[in-house]
């Protein structure tokens, strides 16, 4: 990888590390102060909600300096997390205020993902795109493993306040890294738009980007299937803190997720030659079965964590595939807005899933809900086989299947 990709990767690693820590801290703060499955589910719903508005960032990403977007987002997020830490230490951390600040901070964080994806596509040769995406995912998920494994111990012995303070420093530092060291090429659409023309230009770009994504019929068919799968999965994910007897146990579940995802991203490039209509249904079936078995056998020592990791290995591969498919099948100049639109679609109903998980968790067993949530992956495997557009995808990952 070239120097600019390395700077981008370094910033992504630090940001992902910080995001993971303060998200885990916030969820555990809500559990320790309320013990309510509904409020825990609501916390996760608020955290995932910014994903659904990524499409609003698309015209900005393609039209303005991607470097400026990255460092402003990082600095803004760092300032907000600093405010959360101050409120925590002064005992003024009111839950509605915490949810609001967390939502704004994560909204800033979410705009960096399509921005970075567009930069990766512009800085990487097409034949190396899957490999570079895998390297990015593999690298920052390696730190995720360390973060998730240590999260329970840190929450117990270091304290939530210090976690918030450390994260604010990391985020501000990342913003400074992008400001002083990141140098990226300008896209053809990137211009200095006058303020009086900003709203009109935004509307034009928004409409144009929407139409570009709308014409990707096969890609959208796949996205809609993944949406249903995500809703089912997030219903169960909302219950992970509920079924955990301690912050350390919650950390073990998160570690299993990260370890599995890390393994999946590491081997994803090895499987890219297999036809999509074969590999994606098999991965989904594998993930669903391992997920359901993990919670059906929850009391069996380390077996549940192993099965959960195996489930997320398949999910990790699917994640890399989806990201690469979006990059390959969108035309040049529309990667930013196209990625933002499709990411919004993918996460559109995830907040509802977390909220439903919290509501249902008030009246039923969290373990039961986690077992049921794995059915979504089985449904996606079936959907892929019966949908005519997807069933005929006999091309490998790197080959465009949408018209330019």
Mean pLDDT of 20-35: 84
> Residues with Cβ < 8 Å from 177, sequence gap 6 or more?
7, 10, 11, 14
* Structural domain harbouring 292: 3-183+199-391
Closest CA to 275 of 188, 398, 102: 398
- CATH number, domain at 112? 1.20.1250.20
Rg value, the chain, Cα:
20
Q: Does residue 401 fall inside a structural domain?
A: no
**pLDDT, tens only, 283-334:** 999 999 999 999 988 888 889 999 999 999 999 899 888 888 877 877 776 7
Q: Say if residue 253's pLDDT is above 70.
A: yes
pLDDT at 82: 93
Q: How many angstroms separate the CA atoms of 281 and 360, rounded? A: 29
> Does residue 288 lie within any of the structural domains?
yes
- Is 403 inside any structural domain? no
* Distance between CA atoms of residues 57 and 94, nearest Å: 29
Could you tell me if 132 and 5 are in contact, meaning their C-beta atoms sit under 8 angstroms apart?
yes
Considering the entire predicted model, what is its pTM?
A: 0.73
**pLDDT higher for 52 or 253?**
253
Report the percentage of the chain scoring pLDDT > 70: 88
The count of domains in the chain is 1
Residue 329: the pLDDT is 78
Predicted local confidence at residue 24, as pLDDT: 81
More confident residue, 264 or 128: 264
* pLDDT band at 144; cut points 50, 70, 90: low
Cα dist. 379→117, 233, 287 in Å? 29, 12, 11
Q: What mean pLDDT value characterizes the chain?
A: 82
* 331-343: average pLDDT: 71
Tokens 């020592």 belong to residue: 301
> Is residue 400 in some structural domain?
no
Residue 51 lies in a domain: yes
Query: Residue 56: inside a domain, yes or no?
Result: yes
What's the pLDDT tens digit per position in 86-130?
999 998 889 999 999 999 998 888 888 778 877 887 777 767 777
Q: First and final CA of the chain: distance in angstroms?
A: 27
Q: Looking at the domain assignment, is residue 194 inside a domain?
A: no
Residue 176: band (very low, low, confident or very high) from pLDDT cuts 50, 70, 90: very high
Where residue 78 falls among pLDDT bands split at 50, 70, 90?
very high
Is residue 190 assigned to a domain? no
């Amino acid at each position: 990888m070239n120097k600019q990709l390395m700077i981008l990767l370094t910033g992504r690693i630090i940001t992902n590390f910080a995001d993971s820590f303060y998200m885990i801290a916030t969820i555990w703060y809500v559990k320790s102060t309320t013990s309510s499955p509904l409020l825990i589910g609501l916390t996760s719903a608020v955290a995932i909600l910014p994903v659904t508005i990524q499409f609003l960032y698309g015209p900005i990403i393609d039209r303005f300096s991607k470097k400026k977007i990255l460092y402003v987002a990082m600095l803004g997020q760092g300032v907000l997390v600093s405010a959360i830490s101050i409120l925590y230490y002064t005992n003024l951390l009111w839950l509605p205020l915490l949810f609001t600040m967390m939502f704004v901070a994560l909204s800033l964080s979410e705009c960096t993902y399509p921005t970075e994806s567009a930069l990766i596509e512009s800085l990487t040769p097409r034949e190396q795109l899957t490999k570079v995406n895998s390297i990015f995912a593999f690298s920052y998920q390696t730190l995720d493993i360390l973060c998730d494994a240590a999260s329970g111990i840190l929450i117990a012995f270091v304290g939530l306040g210090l976690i918030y303070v450390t994260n604010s420093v990391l985020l501000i530092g990342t913003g400074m890294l992008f400001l002083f060291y990141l140098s990226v090429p300008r896209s053809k659409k990137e211009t200095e738009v006058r303020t009086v023309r900003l709203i009109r230009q935004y509307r034009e770009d928004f409409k144009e980007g929407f139409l570009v994504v709308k014409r990707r019929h096969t890609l959208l068919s796949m996205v809609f299937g993944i949406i249903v799968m995500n809703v089912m999965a997030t219903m169960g994910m909302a219950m992970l803190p509920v079924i955990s007897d301690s912050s350390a146990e919650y950390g073990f579940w998160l570690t299993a997720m990260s370890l599995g995802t890390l393994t999946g991203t590491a081997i994803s490039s090895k499987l890219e030659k297999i036809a999509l209509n074969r590999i994606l249904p098999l991965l989904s079936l594998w993930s669903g079965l391992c997920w359901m078995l993990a919670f059906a056998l929850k009391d069996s020592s380390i077996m549940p964590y192993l099965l959960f990791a195996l489930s997320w290995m398949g999910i990790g591969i699917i994640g890399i595939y989806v990201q690469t498919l979006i990059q390959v099948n969108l035309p040049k100049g529309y990667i930013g807005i196209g990625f933002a639109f499709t990411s919004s679609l993918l996460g559109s109903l995830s907040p509802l899933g977390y909220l439903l998980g919290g509501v249902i968790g008030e009246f039923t067993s969290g373990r039961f809900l986690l077992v049921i949530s794995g059915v979504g992956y089985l449904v996606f495997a079936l959907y892929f086989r019966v949908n005519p557009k997807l069933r005929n995808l006999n091309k490998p990952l790197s080959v465009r299947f949408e018209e330019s």
